[in-house]
Amino acid sequence: MSSQTSSGPPVKRTSSAVSPESVLDSSNSSTAKKPKIESTHKRKSRRGRKGSKRQQKQRQRLDPDPTTTEGVLTKYTIPLLMKQYDNNHGVSKDQLIVNDGTMNWLLKDQVVDNVKILIMDVQGDGVAIVELPSHPDKKVICVIPFGIPGDIVKIKLNQLIRIENGIGYCKADLLHVINPSQLRLAEDQIPCKYFGICSGCQLQSLDYSTQLQLKRRTIVNAYRFLMDESLRSREKIEDKIGQTVGSPLLVGYRTKLTPHYDLLDMKADPPKIPSIGYEAKGRPEWRVMNENQTRVVDIEDCIIGTPIVRKGLANERTRLSKKFDQEGSIGKKGATILLREDTVPKPDSKDDEMNLNGSRDTDHDDTVSTIPCIVKDQPYIKTCVTDHNSTVHEYVNGLEFRFLANEFFQNNNSILPLVIDYVQKKLNFGEGRDSYLVDAYCGSGLFSISSAKSVKRILGVEISAQSIKFAKLNAELNHIDNCEFIAGKAEKLFDQIDFPRDQTSVILDPPRKGCDKVFLDQLSQFLPKRVVYVSCNVHSQARDIQSFLTETENGSKYHVESIRGFDFFPQTYHVESVAVLERE
C-alpha cells in the first residue's frame, strides 16, 4: 500500500486500529432501540389516508421506513453512534446540533479539518461526529460519502437533515484525505477514474476481502436492527450468518447498465450536449476535480459493465454526440439509456450479422458491435441491446433464458451458477423427483427452470404478465414440462396449489420492499417443509422473517437454518441475502 493520496503531500496512515470488522461497528447494538415495524402495505394505507403529497413526503423524511437505506441510517446507525459516543467519550448528546430550522444556513459550506471517520453506514458512506469551528460548544453528525473508518479527512458541510427528536445530521463532501485509514487502498489501486465523483460505486477504495466482510456485517446489523433480541438469541442468528460468497468477476460483470442524462443541459444558451452517465456524488479534491461538474457525471466507460455493455456505452455516446451535432438535441424524452447484453448464435453470413439486434459502431462502418463467445460448444456472439422491447437471450448453466430487455433478470451472470447451486442444495429436494417447488416472485423462471430436473412439479407466480409469458417460453425452450406459471400477486398461488406440503419447498425472491403480510400469512398456513428467501434488501428480509416466525399461524414451527450473503454487485454496497427456514 502506498501512503500517498492523489493530491497534496505524502501522508502517514492513521495509527488507530481499524479492522474490517469494525468498519461498521455494532458492538453495542443489542441495546439499540428497535424500531416499531409496520408492514409496507400498512404504511402505505396510513399515508394514503392523511395529507397532501408534500406532507406525505415530509413525514416520510422524518419517519422513513426502517428497511430503506435512509431508515437504517437514521433509526439504527446514528442512534448507535450517539450511544457509543456517549459511552466512550463522555460527551452528552445535548451537545449535538439540533435542527430547529435555523442551523442549516449557519453550517452550510463550513470547511472542517481533521475529521475522523468513525464508522461506515449501510450505503458505504463514512459517518463522523464533527466539532464545529463556528459553534465550539456544539457537534454535528456528518455523513461523508467515500470516507472510510479510520480516515482523517477535510470536509465541507452541506445540507442539514432533520431526523427524530429534532436531531439533525449533516451531509458533507469529502474534500481531502489528510491521513488515510489502514483499510484504504492506495490511489493507483482504485480501478475506476470516476470513483469518488460518481454515485454508482461506493467501495472501490477497499480491497475485495474487506468488501465481503463489510457485506457480512451489513447482514449481521440488519438482523440486529430488525429482529427482536429474544428471537435472535433463541435462533442464534449471528452464528448462522456465513461468510459472504464473492463474485467470480470483480469488474466487467454487469450485464445491464442504465446511464442517463439531464434534459436541462440542452436548454442552455447555446445548448450543450448533456453529460451521459450517473448522478454526481461529492465534490472531491481527493480525486479528479472538475470545476464544471454537472448533476450527472459524464462517464465515457463504466468498468463494472461487461465488455459488450461497455462497447455499447461507447457506441451510444458517439451516436448521441453525432445526433446533437446535426440536430442540436439528443431527444425530448427518454433520458435513460438501456444497455443490455444479449447472447445469440453466430450468424452464418455478413448480411445476417448486419441485421442483428444491437448497438452499432457508427465510427466503424455502422456494423453491430459483437464479441465472440462459446455457448454449449458452439460459436455464439454477444451484442448490446438498447431497445426496451427487444427480446434478450442469456445462458445459465447451459439453460437458455429469454426475457424482455426492460424486465427483471439478474444482472451478474458470473455469480448465478454459484447462487443456483447453493439455493438448490438448501431447497433440499428428496431423492427420486418426489419433491415439489413453489417459486414465488419467479420473474422469467430462472430458479424454476434451473430446478426442474430435480423435482416432480413446480408452480411459479409473478406479477408481470410479460415475464410469465417468457417463463412459459423458457420452459418450452429447455424441454421442460413440469413447470406451471401464473400471473398475479404472489399470494394468488395459494388459490390453486395442490402440492403435498411435506414434500414442498418454497423459494421467495421479492423486490426490495419485501413480502406483503397477506402473503406471509398464507405461506404459513400452507406450511411448506422449507422456505428459501432470496433478497436484494436484507433489511426487508429480516423484517419479514421476524414477522413470519412470530406473527403468523405456524411461524413458531420454523427455525432459521442459515443466512448467507452473495455479492452480486462488487464495488457497491449492495448485498444479496439468502435465508433458509426449516419446519421442525
Ligand X SMILES: C[S@@+](CC[C@H](N)C(=O)[O-])C[C@H]1O[C@@H](n2cnc3c(N)ncnc32)[C@H](O)[C@@H]1O
Among 443, 528, 555, 570, binds ligand X (CB under 6 A): 443
- Here the contacts of 279-282 (C-beta below 8 Å, separation 24 or greater) are 279/198, 279/199, 280/197, 280/198, 280/199, 281/145, 281/146, 281/197, 281/198, 281/199, 282/145, 282/146, 282/173, 282/174, 282/196, 282/197
Residue 462 touches ligand X, criterion: CB under 6 A? yes
Is 205 a binding residue for ligand X by CB under 6 A? The answer is no
Shortest distance, position 345 Cβ to ligand X, whole Å: 23
Considering the complex, what minimum distance in angstroms separates the CB of residue 521 from ligand X? 14
How far is residue 573's CA from residue 5's CA, in Å, rounded to a whole number? Answer: 23
CA distances from 478 to 378, 396, 448 (A): 17, 12, 12
Residue 512 Cβ vs ligand X, minimum distance, rounded to whole Å: 8
Of 155 and 536, nearer to ligand X (C-beta) is: 536
Which of 76, 194, 253, 441 lies at the binding interface for ligand X (CB under 6 A)? 441
Residue range at the interface with ligand X (CB under 6 A); choices 129-137, 268-276, 296-304, 457-465: 457-465
Task: Identify residue 436 by its one-letter amino acid code.
Answer: Y
Q: Which stretch binds ligand X (CB under 6 A): 180-188, 196-204, 367-375, 459-467?
A: 459-467
Q: Is 410 annotated as a binding residue?
A: yes
Q: Is the peptide bond before 270 cis (omega within 30 degrees of 0)?
A: yes
Q: Dihedral angle at the C-alpha atoms of 542, 544, 545, 547, nearest 10 degrees?
A: 120
**Smallest separation (angstroms) from ligand X to the CB of 446:** 4
Annotated binding residue at 462? Answer: yes
State which residue, 413 or 435, has the beta carbon closest to ligand X.
413
DSSP string, 453-482: GGSSEEEEEES-HHHHHHHHHHHHHTT--S
| 509 known ligand binder | yes
Q: Is 533 in the site for ligand X (CB under 6 A)?
A: no
Q: Does 442 bind ligand X (CB under 6 A)?
A: yes
- Of 335, 341, 476, 339, whose CA–CA distance to 399 is shortest? 476
CB of 535 to ligand X, least distance (A): 8
Q: Would you give the binding string for ligand X spanning residues 294-323, x where CB under 6 A is met? A: ------------------------------
Amino acid at the residue 559 = H
Contact with ligand X (CB under 6 A) among 195, 286, 447, 573: 447
CA distances, 263 to each of 295, 315, 323, 329, 584 (Å) = 11, 20, 14, 9, 57
> By CB under 6 A, which span of 61-69, 229-237, 385-393, 461-469 interacts with ligand X?
461-469
Strands 139-144 and 168-179: parallel
Residue 461: CB minimum distance to ligand X, A = 6
User: Which C-beta is closer to ligand X: that of 101 or that of 511?
Assistant: 511
Tell me the C-alpha distance between 118 and 88, whole Å.
12
Which is catalytic among the residues 142, 198, 515, 536? 536
Least separation, in Å, of the C-beta of 401 and ligand X?
A: 8
Cβ at position 463, least distance to ligand X in Å: 4
Q: Using CB atoms, what's the residue nearest to ligand X?
A: 443
Determine which residue in the list 74, 315, 467, 474 makes contact with ligand X, applying CB under 6 A: 467
| Residue that is written with C-alpha cell 490511489 in the block | 187
Nearer to ligand X, 463 or 477 (CB): 463
For position 464 contacting ligand X by CB under 6 A, the verdict is yes
Specify the residue, 104 or 406, whose C-beta has the smaller distance to ligand X.
406
Q: Which has the closest alpha carbon to 140: 175, 177, 176, 115?
A: 115
Q: Return the number of the residue (74 or 451) whose C-beta is nearest ligand X.
A: 451
Burial of 534 per CB tally in 10 Å (0-12, 13-18, 19+): buried
Tell whether residue 568 is a contact of ligand X (CB under 6 A).
no
Subset of residues 484 to 523 that bind ligand X, contact rule: CB under 6 A: 489-490, 509-511
Half-sphere exposure of 80 (CA within 13 A, CB side): 26
Of residues 351-410, which lie at the interface with ligand X (CB under 6 A)? 408-410
Residue keyed to cell 469494525 = 22
> Judged by CB, which is closer to ligand X: 430, or 511?
511
Q: Is 448 one of the binding residues for ligand X (CB under 6 A)?
A: no
Is 436 a known ligand-binding residue?
Answer: no
Nearer to ligand X, 176 or 256 (CB): 256
Crossing angle of the two packed helices 40-49 and 517-526, in degrees rounded to 10: 150
Strand partners, 152: 116, 179
Q: Is 347 exposed, middle or buried (0-12, 13-18, 19+ CB in 10 A)?
A: middle
In the bound complex, what is the minimum distance in angstroms from residue 563's beta carbon to ligand X?
18
Size of the site for ligand X (CB under 6 A): 19
Could you say which of 24, 446, 520, 549 contacts ligand X (CB under 6 A)?
A: 446
Quick one: 267 or 425, whose CB is closer to ligand X? 425
Q: What is the DSSP letter of 77?
A: I
By C-beta, is 510 or 565 nearer to ligand X?
510
Spatial contact of 492 and 516, defined as CB atoms under 8 Å apart:
no
Number of H helices, E strands in the chain: 16, 24
Q: Which residue has the cell 445540507?
A: 159
| Residue 384 parent element (H or E) | strand 378-385
Burial class of residue 526 (count of CB atoms within 10 Å of its CB; 0-12, 13-18, 19+): middle
Task: Please say if 198 is a catalytic residue.
Answer: no
Question: Alpha-carbon distance 430 to 457, whole Å?
Answer: 13
Q: Rounded to an integer, what distance in angstroms lies between the CA atom of residue 492 and that of residue 484?
A: 13
Minimum CB–partner distance for residue 288 and ligand X (Å): 35
Closest CA to 26 of 78, 91, 94: 78
Name the site residues for ligand X (rule: CB under 6 A).
408-410, 441-443, 446-447, 461-464, 467, 489-490, 509-511, 536
- Annotated binding-site residues for S-adenosyl-L-methionine read 410, 441, 462, 509
Known catalytic residues are 536
- Annotated binding-site residues read 410, 441, 462, 509
